[in-house]
């Protein structure tokens, strides 16, 4: 049997897909796994902030189309890049163990976020990070930053930025951990939905492939956390790019959730946090929906309507 993995060409995407390939072949030596490299829209447009492009499938659409055509069988994604609603005929079939879900702070000069000089330039294109940075350090300048992990670190070293913020998971997976000056606690900066989790996407109805991939890859704790966080995202987004974050930590039959919605400047910042009991993925989905509804009722709905004209 052969399984073809559709993957982006970046170093991180290839690392992730090679890791999944290794796990499958280790568990099922009789299965041959092939990587098929695909260029996505997000790989082509490198000079525009992601939020301004407005396409939720920037890093997934072309790979999903290849799956639906039958050119590849599964896709390996950084789950934080996967839209909350998938194309008809596709589903998430497995979730990896979660790498560090937090944000990493890298600087020129071994600074931490609190010790960075006033007026320093910090690079990020994430609306989520921008809104939280404006609360934590309203005195700094925030400048958009695009490119893969290597490119972003190169721009930092060239002096285009005094500091940059990246997902710790990607930095660690590529072996750049020594460049990190500070890991930002979720108490200070709530992570992106599903940050640190690899999501494996497949076709509905491919039961044999799904069984193989789940057995080789799937983490129940990651699946529960991702279900909570993606339900939150699905309920809040309404078709718009908004500053938001949601982070769920699973401990046996309880899940601790932190989430927020904000306007672009961090002036109207609404946060919810709580511990919830669950016994199924349906419970996890309902927890994410409930947290989102509480935030929308607390002022999030007005933020969406005012800033993004989402009704």
Torsion, Cα of 169, 173, 175, 181 (10° steps): 0
Which run of H or E residues covers position 255?
A: strand 254-262
What residues does each domain of the chain span? 1-96+197-218, 103-184, 219-311
List 43, 47, 73, 81, catalytic entry: 81
| CATH number for the domain formed by residue range(s) 1-96+197-218 | 3.40.190.10
Reported as a single tens digit per residue, the pLDDT across 98-113 is 999 999 999 998 899 9
Residue range 219-311 in CATH 3.30.160.40: yes
3 vs 130: CA distance, rounded Å: 39
- Equal CATH topology for 103-184 and 219-311: no
Which run of H or E residues covers position 123?
A: strand 121-123
Burial classification of residue 42, based on how many CB atoms lie within 10 Å of its CB (0-12 exposed, 13-18 middle, 19 or more buried):
buried
| CATH number for the domain formed by residue range(s) 103-184 | 3.40.190.10
pLDDT of residue 265: 83
Average pLDDT over every residue of 166-183: 96
Q: Which residue has the higher pLDDT, 298 or 58?
A: 298
Reported as a single tens digit per residue, the pLDDT across 241-284 is 789 999 999 999 999 999 999 988 888 899 999 999 999 999 99
Task: Please enumerate in sequence order all residues whose Cβ is within 8 A of that of 111, keeping only pairs 6 or more positions apart, or say none.
Answer: 117, 120, 162, 163, 181
| Position 118 confidence tier, pLDDT thresholds 50, 70, 90 | very high
Q: Active-site residue 81, yes or no?
A: yes
For tokens 């890093």, name the residue: 59
pLDDT of residue 49: 54
């Amino acid at each position: 049997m052969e399984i073809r993995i559709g993957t982006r060409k970046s170093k991180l995407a290839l690392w992730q897909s090679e890791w999944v390939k290794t796990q499958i072949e280790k568990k099922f030596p009789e299965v041959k796994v092939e990587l098929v490299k695909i260029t996505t829209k997000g790989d082509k447009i490198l000079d525009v902030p992601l939020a301004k492009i407005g396409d939720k499938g920037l890093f997934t659409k072309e790979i999903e189309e290849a799956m639906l055509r039958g050119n590849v069988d599964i896709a390996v994604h950084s789950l934080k890049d996967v839209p909350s609603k998938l194309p008809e005929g596709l589903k998430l079939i497995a979730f990896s163990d979660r790498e560090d879900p937090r944000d990493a702070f890298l600087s020129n000069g071994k600074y931490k976020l609190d010790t960075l000089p006033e007026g320093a330039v910090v690079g990020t294109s994430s609306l989520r990070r921008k809104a939280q940075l404006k609360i934590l350090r309203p005195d700094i300048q925030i400048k958009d930053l695009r490119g893969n992990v290597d490119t972003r670190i190169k721009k930092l070293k060239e002096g285009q930025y005094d500091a940059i913020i990246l997902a710790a998971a990607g930095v660690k997976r590529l072996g750049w951990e020594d460049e990190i000056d500070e890991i930002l606690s979720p108490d200070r900066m709530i992570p992106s939905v599903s940050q640190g989790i690899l999501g494996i996407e497949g076709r509905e109805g491919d039961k044999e492939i799904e069984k193989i991939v789940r057995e080789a890859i799937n983490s129940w704790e990651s699946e529960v956390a991702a279900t909570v966080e993606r339900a939150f995202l699905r309920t809040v987004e309404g078709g718009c790019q908004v500053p938001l974050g949601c982070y769920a930590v699973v401990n046996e039959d309880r899940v601790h959730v932190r989430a927020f919605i904000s306007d672009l400047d961090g002036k109207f910042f609404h946060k919810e946090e709580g511990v919830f009991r669950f016994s199924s993925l349906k419970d996890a989905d309902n927890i994410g929906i409930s947290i989102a509804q509480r935030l929308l009722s607390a002022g999030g709905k007005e933020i969406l309507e005012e800033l993004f004209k989402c009704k």
